Amino acid sequence: MKKSGRALLWLPLCAPFFASAQIDPVPRDLIQLGYNQALEGHAPFAGYAYYYHNQPDFLRTNLTLRLALAPTYVDSELAFVHGLGPNTDFAVGLDGGGFADSYNEIHGGTFYPSESFIGHGGEISASIYHLFNPQAKVPLNLILRGTAHYAVFERDETAAAFQLPADHGDFNVRAGLRWGGVEPTLFPALAMELSVWYEGHLRSNPGTYGFGGDRKLRGQSHLFWAEAALSYTLPQSQQNFSARLTAGTSVDADRFSAYRLGGFLPLIEEFPLSLPGYYFQEISARQFVLLDANYLLPLDSKRRWNLSLTAASAFVDYLPGESQPGNWLNGVGGGILFRSPSNRLKVMLDYAYGIDAIRSHGRGANTVGLLLQLDLGQLRSATFNPVRPNRWRGWRWLFGE
């Protein structure tokens, strides 16, 4: 397979995001796309592209279907609203496909294809969502999820002397308390979240792999993290401020379960650990504290054009074997965001600078990126049901005419 073709298949890196932490009550049909391109060094492909469909009242009033389609990965969940009581929902999930279990080894600012490999997998899950305060404006949810995942691995540009990890099952349990929440959309106008989480992994075939068994696939790993997030839009000026503080620690983490920070791809995961200017998932951490913030300034009265400014700072305790000089990591960035009327289309071109990223010339790294969100639900109502058929109506809608 040619390298250019294979790069397109790495798009399922977005797959972890699909496992949402509560049932989405809003109908959605969204196309999401994001891409980061490093300007120094040889970086692994970093991007996502998927179609997100959420349909309450699917077949029956108490069923909600969530479906996410990436080029080589499918994720689905069928939720039974009030399935376990008036305030308790139940859901079953099924997902799988190619390349989502792949691993890129990045150490000291250098990507090592000889120590990286491709992984494919699939999983089934069962989830319980309990709402503690049904009368409150800000919901408090308990989330419990059990997942059975199986992954298989194959070589890419992996060195012949590098032993692949064993194919294995990963039995995962996640529990969390979430007050509020953030919509799965690009730059939401208003959001608030406080949450705490535990995630445990039990693997069926632990052991050593790598060069002469120099790294471990652990039988158990335990992760603990908390997050506080806020997004607010000023009513008069329509300036938007958002910030996210995330902190996590772990017990017996390995390369498959460590926290991985880096890149600016806000919808690639449910809990994106963004560091602008760095390679995607460049940093592997045993524990960390990360603060990132974004500011959107409208440049015209209709808010079609906006200036975006981003900054992030992290304190990192590296995973053993992945350490590098310096525990403080900082990055900044900026871009231009275009919104069509009613926010149906959002497109942003951005530039980011990783202040403390290690590269061959020393510290400092540059990236450029693209983010896009297209709301097909609004597109369908505004464009596909016109009063008078017109082949150019979609283009007029797209550019706000």
Closest CA to 278 of 312, 322, 306: 312
Q: How far apart are CA 230 and CA 182, in angstroms?
A: 8
Q: Is the pLDDT of residue 275 over 70?
A: yes
Q: How far apart are CA 158 and CA 211, in angstroms?
A: 11
Tell me what the mean pLDDT of segment 241-245 comes to.
97
Q: Is the pLDDT of residue 339 over 90?
A: yes
pLDDT at 377: 81
pLDDT band per the 50, 70, 90 thresholds, residue 342: confident
pLDDT at 312: 98
Tell me what the mean pLDDT of segment 51-58 comes to.
95
For 384, the 3-state DSSP assignment is coil
Which CATH number fits the domain that encloses residue 127?
2.40.160.50
pLDDT at 270: 87
Share of the chain above pLDDT 90, in %: 82
Tokens of 367: 């990236």
- Classify the phi-psi angles of 400: left when phi > 0, otherwise alpha if psi is within -120 to 50, otherwise beta: left
* Range in 26-30, 40-44, 73-77, 396-400 with the lowest mean pLDDT: 396-400
Tell me what the mean pLDDT of segment 269-298 comes to.
96
130-160 pLDDT tens trace = 999 999 989 999 999 999 999 999 999 999 9
152-186 pLDDT tens trace = 999 999 999 999 999 999 999 999 999 999 988 99
Top-confidence residue, 18 or 222: 222
Tell me what the mean pLDDT of segment 365-381 comes to.
84
Q: How far apart are CA 46 and CA 48, in angstroms?
A: 7
pLDDT at 383: 33
Q: How far apart are CA 274 and CA 268, in angstroms?
A: 10
Q: How many domains does the chain have?
A: 1
What is the reported pTM?
0.88
Q: Is the pLDDT of residue 398 over 50?
A: no
Q: Which residues, at least 6 apart from 391, have a Cβ–Cβ distance to it below 8 Å?
A: none
Asked if 324 contacts 318 with a C-beta cutoff of 8 angstroms, the reply is: yes
pLDDT at 379: 46
Q: Pairing relation of β-strands 28-38 and 191-203?
A: unpaired
Q: What residues make up the domain containing 248? A: 3-398
Q: What is the DSSP string of 27-61?
A: -EEEEEEEEEEESSS----EEEEEEEEEEESSSST
CA distances from 128 to 124, 148, 174, 175, 344 (A): 14, 15, 11, 10, 32
The residue with tokens 């503690």 is 132
pLDDT band per the 50, 70, 90 thresholds, residue 9: very low
180-237 pLDDT tens trace = 999 889 999 999 999 999 999 999 999 999 999 999 999 999 999 999 999 999 999 9
Top-confidence residue, 398 or 377: 377
pLDDT at 378: 60
Q: Which residues pair with 144 in a beta bridge?
A: 128, 175
Q: How many CB atoms lie within 10 A of CB 333?
A: 24
pLDDT at 132: 96
pLDDT at 297: 97
Tell me what the mean pLDDT of segment 332-351 comes to.
94
Q: Is the pLDDT of residue 285 over 50?
A: yes
Share of the chain above pLDDT 70, in %: 89
Rg of the chain in Å (alpha carbons): 21
Helices (H) and strands (E) counted in the chain, each on its own, are 3, 21
Q: Is the pLDDT of residue 3 over 80?
A: no
Average pLDDT in the chain:
89
Q: Is the pLDDT of residue 7 over 80?
A: no
Going through 257-361 in order, the beta strands assigned E by DSSP cover 259-261, 283-298, 305-318, 328-339, 345-359
Angle at 198 between CA 225 and CA 320, to 5 degrees: 60
CA distances from 297 to 148, 301, 306, 308 (A): 44, 11, 5, 7
pLDDT at 21: 54
**163: enclosing H helix or E strand:** strand 162-163
| 341 φ/ψ angles, rounded to the nearest 5 degrees | -55, 140
Q: Is the pLDDT of residue 284 over 90?
A: yes
Q: How far apart are CA 225 and CA 248, in angstroms?
A: 4
pLDDT band per the 50, 70, 90 thresholds, residue 338: very high
Asked if 246 contacts 261 with a C-beta cutoff of 8 angstroms, the reply is: no
